[in-house]
Chains A and B, each alone.
Chain A
Amino acid sequence: MEIILKNVGYYYKNKKYLEKVNLHIKQNRITGITGDNKTLLAELIDALTFASYGEIQVGGNLINRKNLIEVRRNVCMIHQKPMNQFFTTTVKDEMEFLIGRLDYKNKNIHKKMRDSLLIVGLNESYLEKTIYELSTGEQKLIQVAISLIYNPKVVIFDEPFVELDYTNKKKLIRLIKLLKERYHKTVIVTSNDSNMLYSLTDDLVVLKDTRVIAADKTGKIYEDVDFLESNEIEIPETVLFTYKARKKNVKLSYHKDIRDLIKDVYKHV
């Protein structure tokens, strides 16, 4: 499901937060959003907040206050602090609560609940667990599992890797890739971690102050070191290494994976 933003702006109490945003977020790709006010942009797509002007289309449907249920079914957002998103105490209650809210009907709902847990790599026993005994990483996985029940076409992750350790990070990365490759979802990831965005995303949107200053393939943006430096964007470390080597006339290529980089270094020494 593709998302189109036409001349979107947002202001609050006379302060501008977003101005003249025109974007085309493509179907079945992982799109990263980085820079200022990225969470706001994600919230506009999720219809948590409404734009002050301009229009947002999700899969051809214009977002307005009347079709909120429709939008909620299509778009799901995993917040930075998953705790804020839970209403009830156990995972099962939480799933049933959401199913009720979205008026979702399915005969095999209990099987579906179990299946969605398996997809995110957790087993059935988690249904009976209380939210409080889960770690932050598990809470995020549970949120994804809950959203998978009603099969949204767009999944937004807001700062997914903050406060996650290596093991949970790896799990979540695998899951994000799975969502795109096997379930053909449109995935949006907001983050300031350029290393992560460089290796994970297909497309990238860069925001600065209130405007979009770049929207292109991730590689194209992150390999343009001069652009990154002039806009004070963190350079991915693999890119910076290649850049420094190239300055010494070594013909190193840009690599997303450190192992590929090392092979290349080995060739050129």
Chain B
Amino acid sequence: MEKALEINNLKFSYPNKEVFRGLSLTIEEGTFTTIVGNNKSGKTTLIKLMCGLLDGQKSVVAGYAYVNNQRIHDNSRFFGVVFSDVEGKFLFPNVYKEMAFPLENLNIEVKKIESKIIDIAKEFGITEMLDKKIEDLTTSEKQELLIAISLLHDPKMLLLDNAFSMMNKKSKEKILRILKNRIEKDHLTVVLTTMNLEEIIDSDYTYVLNDGNIVMEGSPLQILREERLLNQVGLELPFMADLSLKLEFYELVEGITMDMDRMVNTLWK
């Protein structure tokens, strides 16, 4: 598999605070990677470094586009980025115009823009939302919309910085389904940062970030087994993982099951 993004010995500090003292990680093309960590672990800074919003002294290499302010115009097409805060992210009063704006910037024909927006709206099931005003949307819908917009220009890589934080369960599942579909079909690479361990379950690979260092990496199920370490770095086990591990201790179940029905069925046949 090809590498979509590579970080080598990344060092970065803000004027009065050191964030990364030599971080390395690779993200493979066409995978869903999660980076999990507590408040202040450096997740947002990492995402900003990845997409070139901050300069990481030539230590981030993404696909073919170098992220050190050299070929930044390539970057903006390579990446789709969504941050967790929805306030101040919208420029226009209504949804359709908001969606058209990034495409207009890319100098795409009006007709193509229209069909593109309709396609995406169908994919996300938000066709009715197109005529609405932004102010009438709930926070959950705004987050959905931001993700839809970030996919409009068919990026090769989607960076989500805690972008599910205010979504309800249903929307979260829907978005995950759409992203998985895109990963399979278009070989999209998705990186999601979160502090909610429940969100790592569907990913292919997980990094645990604490205070600018990667303290653990592996498949989600491997990560969830390390309850002590996760609590130490300020992360809470999801209910089903917690239950599985505790019941496993009493030798009632084997391994981590995230499906509640299956767990109930194994306990009481």
Stretch at the interface among A18-26, A207-215, A223-231, A237-245: A237-245
Most B C-beta atoms less than 10 A away, residue of A136, A262, A268 = A262
| Chain A residue with the shortest CB-CB distance to B267 | A269
| CB contact under 8 A between A248 and B39, given known A162-B166, A165-B195, A167-B234 | no
Pairwise interchain contact B38-A165, C-beta atoms closer than 8 A: yes
Complex contact B260–A240 (CB within 8 A): yes
Tell me, yes or no, whether A265 is within 8 Å of chain B by CB.
Answer: yes
How far apart sit A74 and B168, CA to CA, in the bound complex (Å)? 33
Measured CB to CB, the nearest residue on chain B to A234 is: B169
Bitwise, A74-88 to B at CB < 8 A (1) or not (0) is 000000000000000
CB distance from A76 to the nearest CB of B (A): 23
- From residue A215, how far is it (CB to closest CB) to chain B in Å? 22
B107 to chain A, nearest CB (A): 37
Known: A258-B246, A266-B250. A163 touches B267 (CB 8 A): no
Task: Kindly state whether residue B152 has any CB partner on chain A within 8 Å.
Answer: no
Query: What residue of chain B has the Cβ atom nearest to residue A242's Cβ?
Result: B264
Size of the B side of the interface (Cβ < 8 Å), in residues, is 29
State which of B166, B195, B239, B263 has its C-beta within 8 Å of the C-beta of A258.
B239
A241: chain B residues at CB < 8 Å are 243, 260, 263-264
Residue contact B247 to A265, C-beta cutoff 8 Å: yes
Residue of B165, B263, B268 most packed against chain A (CB within 10 A): B268
**By the criterion CB–CB under 8 Å, are A248 and B268 in contact?**
yes
Least CB distance, A206 to chain B, in whole angstroms: 15
Among B39, B84, B166, the residue within 8 A (CB) of A137 is B39
**How far is it, in angstroms, between the C-alpha of A238 and the C-alpha of B195 when the chains are bound?**
21
**Nearest CB of B to A137, in Å:** 6
Residues of A within 8 A of B264 (CB): 241, 244-245, 248
Report if B131 contacts A (CB, 8 A): no
**Bound complex: CA A56 to CA B222 (Å):** 53
Shortest beta-carbon distance from A222 to chain B in Å: 14
Contact A262 B39 (CB under 8 A): no
A197 to B240 CA separation, bound complex (whole angstroms):
18
- CB of B2 closer than 8 Å to a CB of A: no
- Asked if A27 is at the interface (CB within 8 A of a chain B CB), the reply is no
Name the B residues within 8 Å of A248 (CB-CB): 264, 268
Q: How far does the Cβ of B155 sit from chain A's closest Cβ, in whole Å?
A: 26
Taking a contact as CB atoms closer than 8 A, the residue among B234, B242, B247 that contacts A165 in the complex is B234
Interface size on A, residues (CB 8 A): 31
Separation of A238 and B238 alpha carbons in the complex (Å): 12
CB of B234 within 8 A of CB of A258, answer no
Indicate whether A169 sits within 8 Å of B243 (C-beta atoms), given known contacts A241-B264, A245-B268, A248-B264: no
> Which residues of the other chain, A, contact B260 by a CB distance below 8 angstroms?
237, 240-241, 244
Whether B261 contacts A262 by the Cβ 8 Å rule is: no
Q: Which residues of A contact B246 (CB under 8 A)?
A: 258-259, 262
- B23 part of interface (Cβ distance < 8 Å): no
Nearest chain B CB to A197 CB, angstrom units: 14
Contact residues, B221-269 vs A (CB, 8 A)? 231, 234-236, 239-240, 242-243, 246-247, 250, 252, 260-261, 263-264, 267-268
B267 contact set on A, CB distance < 8 A? 245, 265, 269
Question: Interface digits, A166-178 against B, CB 8 Å rule (1 contact, 0 not)?
Answer: 1111000000000
Contact in complex: B38, A258 (CB < 8 Å): no
Chain A residue numbers with a CB within 8 Å of B84 are: 163
| A259: chain B residues within 8 A (beta carbon) | 246
Bound-state Cα–Cα, A162 to B85, Å: 11
Which residues of chain B come closer than 8 Å to A262, judged between CB atoms?
Answer: 243, 246-247, 250
A103 to B162, CA, bound (A): 41
Cα distance A265–B169 in the bound complex, in angstroms:
27
CA distance A243 to B69 in the complex (A): 56
A178 to B240, alpha carbons, bound, how many Å?
29
User: From A163, which residue of chain B is reached at the shortest CB distance?
Assistant: B165
Asked whether A164 and B166 contact (CB < 8 A) given A245-B268, A250-B268, A258-B243, the answer is: no
What are the interface flags for A253-264 relative to B under an 8 Å C-beta threshold, 1 for contact and 0 otherwise? Answer: 000001101100
Q: Tell whether, in the assembled complex, residue A166 and residue B235 are in contact, meaning their CB atoms are under 8 Å apart.
A: yes
**10 additional contacts (CB under 8 A) given A168-B39, A238-B239:** A133-B16, A162-B166, A163-B84, A165-B38, A165-B39, A166-B235, A167-B38, A195-B239, A234-B169, A259-B246
Q: What are 14 pairs between A and B in contact, CB < 8 Å?
A: A135-B39, A135-B40, A162-B166, A163-B39, A163-B162, A166-B234, A168-B234, A234-B168, A238-B239, A241-B264, A245-B267, A258-B243, A262-B247, A269-B268
